[in-house]
Amino acid sequence: MAYPQMVWTILGMLLAAAFALGLVEIVHRAIVRMARRSAAFSELAAHSHRPFQIFSALFAMRTVLALSPLRFDWRAGVLHLSAIALIGVGAWLLATMLIAMEDAAESRFRIDVPDNRRARRVRTQVAMMRRVTIAAVVVLALGLSLMTFPQVRALGASLLASAGVIGIVAAVAAQSTLSNVFAGMQLAFSDAIRIDDVVVMEGEWARVEEITLTHVVLHIWDERRLILPTAYFVTKPFQNWTRTQSRVLGTVEFDLDWTVQVPRLRDELRKVTESSDLWDGRVCVLQVTDAVRGTVRLRALVSAADGPSLWDLRCLVREHLVAWIRDQQPLAIPRTRAELSGPDDERPKRPVRPTPGSEENSRLYSGSDDADARAQTFHGPTIA
């Protein structure tokens, strides 16, 4: 190996890398300038600059080495390793570009606004596609890296013949995992649930925090996390409070005495809802829904813009009306009525006075001429 030739080769590789980095910097500045008017270019400049630099420099250095007449013992090994490195960095660059495009699409849809149904759907689909694309890029990079080995390429022909059998065995072995993966894709594009949806699962009120290919993370109201497999959402029923809109209705029920003045209570309900910013102005109704066992049941129906606001509004209405009934209509508080008396032997005996004609009116077939006639008619003619 000629040392001057090696020095010129190394120098050429460094110059090629510097030239590639210079071109990358020019492209980066142009992208930053265009990023002022486009969110896509802004995300691209933020995510892809570093892998683009490494890929360009590595590609330039490998090209110079491949074209160089320099020969040494481990030249083939260096070229092979550089090819694998290029595949890995290229996969990194491609993944960052896809993520940049997905983030740009996601940034156009905000979920911190009242009417965010479309934004939640887009964000759910983008989050799912991000995982799918990254997984696909990783698998593709691994496959290309393995194919750089001659032994693997020779083995590929024989493996291809048995790919059907291996696929069937793998599908049976990973049946539950594959079902969750397909269920995750189905959830992302069927609009059954979306990120930030309000759902009721397993008796828990929660928000959808994350949707992956295998599981769904629910953020419960008390800061706990409920993690369920995605297949659960396509096999079992659940409540989605924000499926088409975030507006919901809620009830507050009272069991009160029959003396309650419903119109006054209805006016008070209207007053407390109108004075609160939790009420969305749609529904405010008070109805008597039942009247049994010494009490009447009143149901207040109110509406709010979303689930959390509805919960706070129901608590507010309940607290206010309980205080108002206690202060303004104390007789309407439920009570139990009972008649108190002593044992039977201590009760005063009241003389029973026969009512004129009561004895006659108590018998149907005896005691009077008419009764005897009816008895004779009922039993048939009298036998002499």
Task: Average the pLDDT over 175-198 and give the result.
Answer: 72
Cα–Cα distance, 24 to 16 (Å, whole number): 12
Work out the burial of residue 333: count CB atoms within 10 Å of its CB; fewer than 13 is exposed, 13-18 middle, 19 or more buried: middle
Cα–Cα distance, 248 to 98 (Å, whole number): 37
- On the question of pLDDT at 383 being above 70, the answer is no
Say if residues 303 and 282 touch (Cβ distance below 8 Å).
yes
82-91, 360-369, 375-384: range with lowest mean pLDDT: 375-384
pLDDT value of position 288: 92
Task: Average the pLDDT over 274-294 and give the result.
Answer: 89
Task: Average the pLDDT over 167-184 and give the result.
Answer: 59
162-171, 185-194, 337-346: range with lowest mean pLDDT: 162-171
pTM, entire model: 0.49
Task: Average the pLDDT over 299-324 and give the result.
Answer: 90
Q: What is the per-residue pLDDT across 109-155, written as a single tens digit (0 to 9) for each?
A: 666 556 666 677 777 777 777 777 887 888 788 877 777 777 666 65
What's CA 349's distance to the chain center, in Å? 72
C-alpha distance from residue 21 to each of 29, 49, 70, 88 (Å) = 12, 11, 24, 19
pLDDT value of position 364: 62
pLDDT value of position 235: 81
pLDDT value of position 384: 43
pLDDT > 90 fraction of the chain, expressed in percent and rounded: 13
